[in-house]
Amino acid sequence: MFLHLMVLNIKARMQYGRSFIYDMFTQIMVYVFEILIVWILLSRFELPGGWGFNEVLFLFGLGYFARAVECAFVWDPMLKMSDYVKEGTLDKFLTAPVNTFVYLIGTDFSVWPLAHVFFSLIVTIFAGGSIGVTWTAANIFWVSLAAIGGAFIYTAFIILGGALAFWIIKSQVLIWMFVDTISLINYPVSIYPKAIQYILSYVIPIALANYFPTVFILNKGNINSLSMTLIFLVGFLLFCISYRFWWFGLKRYQSAGN
Amino acid sequence: MEIIRVENLGKTYKIQKNNQGFIKSFTSLIKKEWEQKVALDNINFTINKGDIVGYIGPNGAGKSTTIKILAGILHPSVGQVLVNGIVPYKERIKNARRIALVTGQRTNLFWDLPIIDTFNLMKRVYKIPQDKFKKNLDMLTDIIGVGEFINTPARQLSLGQRMRADIVAVMLHDPDIVYLDEPTIGLDVVAKDSVRNFFKAINEQKNTTIILTSHDLEDIERLCNRVIVIDNGKLVYSGDIKHLMSQYGNEICTLCITVEDDTEDFEIDGCDIERNLNKLKLKFNRNSATPPVILNRLLERGIKVVDFTLNEPCLEDTIKVIYGSKEVGEPIHK
């Protein structure tokens, strides 16, 4: 059913062929400008720890991959959760004999972030090439594992934000706040004060999505393949928790009403 | 055969107190005050298979709350509900396979896609076998006529067409029970008629149970063989329409007369008279007076009647009486 919904959404988007292409183009331009800002900054200032432009670009690509995957699947529905709760539009999903969560996120599946997914992959691979990463099977496997883990982590936090709509109606603010915080990982977390490093690694462990895999692939520190597995597991676990939390919120909505 | 049983159903919402005043709106940020709002209070009724039941009440009476509980969307605070032998809010998914919910103001259709795509999605969501899907789609298309715009995107449809498409989408899986929440809202006369006829036909062909809430009482009069009236969360009446009318409606008949300009004020026993220049409204109880008697009285007094019309009670007036009775604190009959 989820695949069916995905196909329907893509088909729906294609109905506006030209606007679809403009959409993709705008998204990629946004992306290009963000990279440009990184480039300008890095050509003026030097980062400690031997982080050059290409290294940061690699980091950037991985971070964007996590974000793009999250955007495709849960961004729209979770941002809309507030409206769903406020207007009672969840009824449609609750009266269908299928998994409510899957039906909801399938219905709101977004097509435009797919441009980000592809573009971030290209950027990552290109940046990897220019810093001399050798793409052995093992390297590809470990980085992919961590990248998927990172996407899970990102997704989990957006779902948590969306689920909060069951308690506080205006939960979008929290989601936007989270996204703003996350732009910190466009740079290696090692440049930040210890406290922020700590937060980004353990509290909102979004640095797991790009910083640690980059350190791993560049052999910059004490990070091994076990860490990559751990990132995946942490991501998966967080995702499961957020998923449960969403259902918990739904239960509350059903018994309290609105 | 009984299909829905509702026992001692009650639902209480906890809502935040709306603080008035500038300073209070700040203190409420820290210390929230809650108050209990009773949406449903001790509701009891049963519905038999194949019934078409009108569920009526003023805005905020608790109609939607009841429907949501029956559809498994909300949990009740107290009481028991059985639909098709299962408790809907405990086995929501199982319940969902056998019901359909149509809400007039909302659409389930994919906005940008031909409606046939939504139908195909429903086929997958409800796991409808291909032959049954084909048969039902043909039959539904036949009755309600969506055939000519089946390949049109929902956004290009008129409200009436969209409503019809929405109805087909939720009826494809042969639900036993259909909950209709304001299905004809905003539709023109022809579209309203086609929606009504559709449900009448479905009820006859498939013995589908239909529960209908509507503010358009013509929907209720045309379709339903039974009505349940709630007001302020309490059950006011449950039974057939005729009985409801005789219980409440007989009490008010309105005779509108136009008299000559210079007529003086007068009174007639058992008649409530409202006067606006030379137009008079005489409200009277059918049990204590009849129109000929009143007209005779007028003639006896030498009042020259230029024109008159008689309004017999209709369901709408009956409902007005019921809704109105709570304001003056009259006891509610059952």
Q: Which range marks the domain in which residue A132 is found?
A: 2-256
Is A94 an interface residue toward B (CB < 8 Å)?
yes
Q: Residue ranges of chain A with pLDDT lower than 70?
A: 256-258
Contacts of A16 in chain B (CB under 8 A): 112
pLDDT tens figures, B97-141? 999 998 877 888 888 888 898 898 999 889 999 999 999 999 888
> What is the predicted pLDDT for the residue at B327?
46
CATH architecture of structural domain B253-312 = 2-Layer Sandwich (3.30)
Is B73 an interface residue toward A (CB < 8 Å)?
yes
HEC assignment per residue over chain B: CEEEEEEEEEEEEEEECCCCCHHHHHHHHHCCCEEEEEEEEEEEEEEECCCEEEEECCCCCCHHHHHHHHCCCCCCCEEEEEECCECCCCCHHHHHCCEEEEECCCCCCCCCCEHHHHHHHHHHHCCCCHHHHHHHHHHHHHHHCCHHHCCCEHHHCCHHHHHHHHHHHHHCCCCCEEEEECCCCCCCHHHHHHHHHHHHHHHHHHCCEEEEECCCHHHHHHHCCEEEEEECCEEEEEECHHHHHHHHHHHCEEEEEEECCCCCCCCCCCEEEEEECCEEEEEECCCCCCHHHHHHHHHHCCCCEEEEEEECCCHHHHHHHHHHHCCCCCCCCC
> What is the predicted pLDDT for the residue at B21?
67
Q: Give the number of A-B residue pairs with CB atoms closer than 8 Å.
A: 70
Write down the domain spans for chain B.
2-246, 253-312
**Mean pLDDT of successive 10-residue stretches along chain B, which has 334 residues:** 89 73 66 77 91 87 88 89 90 91 83 88 90 91 84 87 89 91 85 88 91 86 88 86 71 80 76 81 78 82 82 73 58 42
* B 113-172 residues inside an 8 A Cβ radius of A: 113, 117, 120-121, 124-127, 153
Contacts of B13 in chain A (CB under 8 A): 256-257
> What is the predicted pLDDT for the residue at B60?
78
Number of domains in chain A: 1
Partner-chain contact B110 A91, CB within 8 Å: no
* B 14-33 residues inside an 8 A Cβ radius of A: 14
> What is the predicted pLDDT for the residue at B331?
43
Is A240 an interface residue toward B (CB < 8 Å)?
no
Mutation target vs A (from B38, B63, B74; most A CBs, 10 A cutoff): B74
Is B286 an interface residue toward A (CB < 8 Å)?
no
**Which residue among A12, A91, A98 sits closest to B113, beta carbon to beta carbon?**
A12
Report domain B2-246's class: alpha beta
